[in-house]
Amino acid sequence: MTSDATPAAISSLSTEQIDARYRDLDSWPVSEMIAAMFEGQSAAVAAVGGAIPAISAAVEAAVPGLQQGGRIIYVGAGTSGRIAVQDGTELTPTFDWPRERLVFLLAGGSAALTQSVEGAEDRGFEGARAIDDAKVTSNDVVIGVAASGTTPYTIGAIRAANTVGALTIAVANNPGSPLLEEGRYPILVETGAEVIAGSTRMKAGTAQKVVLNLLSTALMIRMGRVYRGLMVHLRVRNAKLEQRGKAIVAEIAGCSDEEAARYLEKAGGDVKSAVLMGFGLSVDEVADVLQRHQGNLRAVLNEIGRRDE
């Protein structure tokens, strides 16, 4: 079952409806069926445009708690849960978001990442218990994702997170769904009927992926982990990241690749620190100024008079 809707709610969900246009899909030439599916995917991406104000509001509200040490907590079941995990796992290698400040609550546990755990999504009390076990606080940002918006596990988690004052964000593809009503910051992307009825791994899943990409990336930018479109909060951990880190340092500090490599080594692989060393700051000065500006490189460069024109 690719839908995360509960049986009782299926008949009323737009994502579960049969689109008469595709009733004979299985008899079409391969090129036509693929073109139809591609059209659906494109429409799903376009549908996200209407949710930009809601996504923006969620980002602005989430930043203060994260600046106080809050965690980003993803909650979901089935396809939605896997998409959430995919988004979150990229935050550490891309933005050096601390692993200890990233939590995944997936119906059925980690086993559900690679196989269906039927029935796990139907137990709302387990979602609530997962929030309790994770010791969620008011600084945490809890993101619940469900195409149907009716998944008990995810709803239970969001309700429990609300009770402890966490900032809750709900992402769903059906209007008026319980999940959207529970989330303090609801994000609706109405993708409608799927090309294959109920297969929310397709249009709905694509829209969820886009929403989460926008949401998490905007959070990282607002947290000062991006400067001039560059991953300045990157920490060098492998050969590819070393090359990227050198390029970033050289670009911002205006130094050679060889100098950038030396600064990176001295900074322990921390790109922001290496950039500031490239501008002549000592190790102690770098640590002090980054702490005062909560790691925001633009603010630091403004202070030291090296703002990019």
pLDDT of amino acid 251: 95
pLDDT in tens, 167-219: 999 999 999 999 999 999 999 999 987 878 878 888 999 999 999 999 999 99
Place of tokens 């990233």: 102
SS3 label, residue 98:
coil
How high is the mean pLDDT of the chain?
90
Dump pLDDT digits (tens) for 255-290: 999 999 999 999 999 999 999 999 999 999 999 999
Q: How confident is the model at residue 112 (pLDDT cuts 50, 70, 90)?
A: confident
Nearest of 107, 106, 103, 110 to residue 72 by alpha carbon? 103
Residue recorded with tokens 């933005």:
95
Q: Is the pLDDT of residue 77 over 70?
A: yes
pLDDT bucket at 21, cuts 50 / 70 / 90? confident
CB 271 within 8 A of CB 233: yes
Closest residue by Cα to residue 71 from 153, 167, 158, 146 = 167
* Dihedral-angle region of residue 265 (phi above 0 means left; psi in -120 to 50 means alpha; beta otherwise): alpha
pLDDT given for residue 20 in this prediction: 78
Full strand arrangement of the beta sheet holding 185-188:
102-106, 72-76, 141-146, 167-172, 185-188
**pLDDT reading at 3 higher than 50:** no
C-alpha to C-alpha distance for 288 and 118, rounded to whole angstroms: 51
Identify the pLDDT of residue 5.
45
Domain range summary for the chain, segments of one domain joined by +: 7-222, 239-303
CA–CA distance, 194 with 204 (Å, rounded to integer): 8
Report yes or no: 271 and 236 within 8 Å, Cβ to Cβ: yes
> SS3 helix, strand, coil % of the chain, rounded to 5?
55, 10, 35
Distance CA 88, CA 142 (A): 12
102's enclosing H/E stretch is strand 102-106
β-bridge partners, 106: 76
Give pLDDT, residue 122.
65
**Tens of pLDDT, residues 113-168:** 777 777 767 677 899 999 999 999 999 999 999 999 999 999 999 999 999 999 99
Higher-scoring residue by pLDDT: 202, 104: 104
* Catalytic site positions: 90, 121
The pTM assigned to this predicted structure is: 0.89
- Pick from 183, 207, 211, 212: nearest CA to 194: 207
CA distance 195 to 206: 13
Indicate the residue type of 19. D
**269, 294, 272: which is closest to 281 by C-alpha?**
272
CATH class of 239-303: mainly alpha
Residue 23's pLDDT is 86
Output phi, psi for 171, to 5 deg.
-120, 120
pLDDT category at 234 given cuts 50, 70, 90 is: confident
Is the pLDDT confidence value at 2 over 70? no
d(Cα 121, Cα 214) in Å, to the nearest integer? 26
For residue 32, which amino acid is it?
E
Measured in Å, how far apart are the chain's first and last C-alpha atoms? 54
Fold of 7-222: Rossmann fold (3.40.50)
d(Cα 153, Cα 159) in Å, to the nearest integer? 10
Query: What does the DSSP assignment read for 37-71?
Result: HHHHHHHHHHHGGGGHHHHHHHHHHHHHHHHTT--
Cα separation of 83 and 61, whole Å?
A: 23
